[in-house]
Amino acid sequence: MAVKMRNGSYYVYFRPFKDKKIGLNLYLRNKGEARRIESLILKACRTGSYGSLDLDSREACVRMFENQGWQLPPDLRGGSRPREELTLWKACELFLKYPEIKASPNAWRYISAIGHLVDKLGKDRPVKSIWVPDLKAYQRERLSERAAAGTINWELATLSKLFGVLIEIQHDGINPVHLVKRLNDKSGERDVYLSFHDVQRIMDQCPAWFRPFVATAYYTGMRRGEILGLTRKQVNLVKRIITLSPDHTKEGHWKRVPIHRNLVPIFEEALKVTTLKSEKVFLLQDKKGVRPPGIETFKNCWPRACNALGLEKPWPRFHDLRHAWRTNARRSEMNPTIAESIMGHCSRRRSVSERYDRISEQDLVQAIDAMTFDHGPTEIFVAGQR
């Protein structure tokens, strides 16, 4: 029996029935939790009693049987026992505990979306009663609150993913979100450039613990979720490279991000602060102790800084730092292939020469060191606004 880390999550290698050795991805980053689930599955398989498995170990056990083509025992079949009526709140709890969701770099975004869904649809609302008219009414109500179409689409996509999890664990068999047309989010597209001066002004208005997040986004082009989830093992200050595995990027691909020389002292200071409870690089330190910041705490800092400066609306957003990085890279004449590699996006199909062109860590560091960050005034254009 063995528990090993592979591609950012723990796999268990064991013989559940004392014959064939198999491997099973538990979609976990906690070794202790992986060992616990391994022990529960082994006990269930050896005794033939699966009824006492909790949600996480039950899901892993069902996946194991399906992966191996084994017949599911009666205790693991969804129809073997009656279920109490599932409320939206209970469904959200099941969703957030699901291994693939817990391990997702978008977990914090799911939590944020769930807050709006529960508020509008009702905490005690039976999940099976949610249908197409309810979802269309949800779209209208969120639009009346001036929520962006893209934000509403993401919230319903989260609900769709929730229904997908319920179907997979055999709690429900219908996903009504598939029957609702997405809102057109082209009208809210943004074309933004933030000047170096304005980024500094906003940063100065932010709490001290939040400033490293801003600086990292500005000098690397990384997404908010990538920075929030950044761990010490992913940062190599000697080579000045951040390495993100597929589990930590939106695209689901490996990504290497060079650390600009201006970021080195910021990372050095951040890495001095430690806590046994977390391997995160950037932590919040106050009278309550040292801990990773909660998503709501994180989200509030940027708009409060914009408000304190008395900026005219539309305000710049934290994500606009990523837009600014891409513009600065182009205006610094960075090689487009290297820029796309750092961003993690590729808007076009790469040519054969680009696919086989090896970008070294030295190439990345040299490119970021040659980049400049002061290329004109702030410009914010939102489609449909004048």
Q: pLDDT tens digits, residue range 202-216? A: 999 999 999 999 999
Query: At residue 171, does pLDDT exceed 80?
Result: no
**What's the pLDDT at 81?**
46
The closest of 36, 20, 19, 18 to 28, measured between CA atoms, is 36
Q: Domain holding 197: CATH number?
A: 1.10.443.10
Lowest mean pLDDT of 50-64, 153-167, 172-186, 343-357, name the range.
343-357
58: pLDDT strictly greater than 90? no
Q: pLDDT at residue 231 above 60? A: yes
Helix (H) / strand (E) element for 133: namely helix 132-144
Burial class (CB in 10 A: 0-12, 13-18, 19+), 216: buried
| Residues 166, 196 within the same domain | no
| 278 plus 360 within the same structural domain | yes
Determine the average pLDDT of the residues in 55-66. 86
Report whether pLDDT(386) > 70. Answer: no
Looking at the structure of the chain, the number of domains it has is 3
Residue type, 71: Q
Specify which residues 255 forms β-bridges with: 244
Q: What is the pLDDT of residues 109-160, one digit of tens each?
A: 899 899 999 999 999 999 989 999 999 999 999 999 988 888 899 999 999 9
Section 274-303 average pLDDT: 86
Percent of the chain with pLDDT over 70: 91
Closest CA to 37 of 18, 13, 60: 60
Q: Looking at residue 243, what is its pLDDT? A: 95
Q: Which residue has the higher pLDDT, 267 or 167?
A: 267
Q: pLDDT at residue 29 above 80?
A: no
Residue after which a domain boundary falls, among 10, 40, 74: 74
Q: Residue 213 sits in which domain range?
A: 190-382
CA distances from 351 to 219, 260, 348, 367 (A): 28, 28, 9, 21
Quick one: what percent of the chain has pLDDT higher than 90? 48
Same-domain pairing of 229 and 339? yes
- Chosen domain end from 173, 188, 203: 188
Mean model confidence pLDDT for the chain: 87
**Span 330-366, pLDDT tens digits:** 999 999 999 999 998 654 455 555 565 688 999 999 9
- My answer on whether 323 and 246 are in the same domain is yes
Q: Helix, strand, coil % (nearest 5) of the chain?
A: 50, 10, 35
Q: Which strand (E) or helix (H) includes residue 64?
A: helix 55-68
The edge-to-edge listing of strands for the beta sheet with 22-25 is: 2-6, 9-14, 22-25
Q: Are 246 and 268 in contact (CB under 8 A)?
A: no
Whole-number Å distance between alpha carbons of 205 and 203: 5
Of the candidates 130, 154, 188, which is a domain's last residue? 188
357, part of any domain:
yes
Q: How high is the pLDDT of residue 347?
A: 44
Count of CB atoms within 10 A of residue 381's CB?
12
